[in-house]
Structure 1
Amino acid sequence: MTFVRFQAALPDRQGRFLGVFSLVNGLARRERLTPEQHLFRRLNNDWYDANYTDPSTVDPSVYRRPDAVAWFRPTSTHLLSRVTGYLDLLDAHGVPWVRLESDDPGRVVYEDADQVVVVPHP
């Protein structure tokens, strides 16, 4: 199975490659979104919250590992189809991103029907 991840093309100041949702939420925190973009983010974040398990609600320690990252299962098309709007928003703000695919993204520390959270291989 090939897993899918959308992330920053460049690392942040701590050397991390933030995921698409973190990137968009960061733009919102820095008040860089237009009212329409903010509405898109809020409505779609709410949709994801209602339709997608937050791994930290199942295992509060899952993201305490600084290098843990989430990957979508390719069968989660209902989740993947909405990512395009987030990518368009990043493009509008000149935030470079990449789509990654991997059959073995790392050591699995959490998994459910839609995603895995992994610690990348060294």
Structure 2
Amino acid sequence: MILLRFVIPDRDRRTGQFTGLMSAAYDLLRAGDMPQAEEDELRRHVEWVETNVPVPARFARKRNVSHKQTHGISWVKADAVDLVSRFRAIAGIAERHGLVVELLQTDRPGYIVHEDAWQVVAEPFHGD
């Protein structure tokens, strides 16, 4: 199974990994400094994702308090065509606002803690 991750090459302080595209989209919306039509377009794509893609109940393998630093990373299934299309549209808007968006691809995301029709959430393997 091929998995994709749209990222901004800034490190997320919770995970130590690159920041995911949805976090960047929320930041752009909060900033409120884009033309209204573009903001509406971005909001439509974000709301589609929020409505159609479930929020995983778990982002870590262990529930132990000592493992609170452990946090899974969301990966999009390459065959989730509608979601990939939305992410590409969000990436285009982000790039027009000066963000660099990279597309990562893997078939080994780490220890899987959640999977649904759209995505996989996995804790990266040690050293990844």
**TM band (smaller chain):** 0.7 to 0.9
Match of 1:9 in 2: 9
Alignment gaps of 5+ in structure 1: none
> What amino acid does structure 2 have at the position aligned with 1:20?
L
Q: State the number of aligned residues.
A: 117
> SS at the partner of 1:62?
coil
| Structure 1 residues 65 and 35: CA distance shift in structure 2, 3 A | farther
> What amino acid does structure 1 have at the position aligned with 2:38?
Q
- 1:116 pairs, out of 104, 120, 123, with 120
Once the two structures are superposed, the pairs formed by residues 89-100 of structure 1 within 5 Å of their partners are 89-100=93-104
Cα distance in 2 for partners of 1:21, 1:32 equals 17
> What amino acid does structure 1 have at the position aligned with 2:100?
P
Match of 2:45 in 1: 44
Cα distance in 2 for partners of 1:42, 1:90 equals 12
Cα distance in 1 for partners of 2:71, 2:7 equals 13
What TM-score does the superposition give when structure 2 sets the normalisation length?
Answer: 0.80
What TM-score does the superposition give when structure 1 sets the normalisation length?
Answer: 0.84
More helix by share: 1
> What amino acid does structure 1 have at the position aligned with 2:28?
L
Alignment gaps of 5+ in structure 2: 61-67
Match of 2:32 in 1: 31
Match of 2:82 in 1: 78
**Overall identity of the aligned pairs, in %:** 27
**Aligned-pair distance for 1:31?**
2.1
> SS at the partner of 2:104?
strand
| Structure 1 residues 46 and 91: CA distance shift in structure 2, 3 A | same
Larger Rg: 2
Which stretch has the larger CA shift, 26-35 or 70-79?
26-35
Q: Which runs of 4+ in 1 moved over 4 A?
A: 63-66
Assess if the C-alpha contact under 8 Å between 1:106 and 1:120 holds in 2: yes
- Computed over aligned residues only, the root mean square deviation of the Cα atoms, in angstroms, reads 1.9
**Aligned-pair distance for 1:62?**
2.3
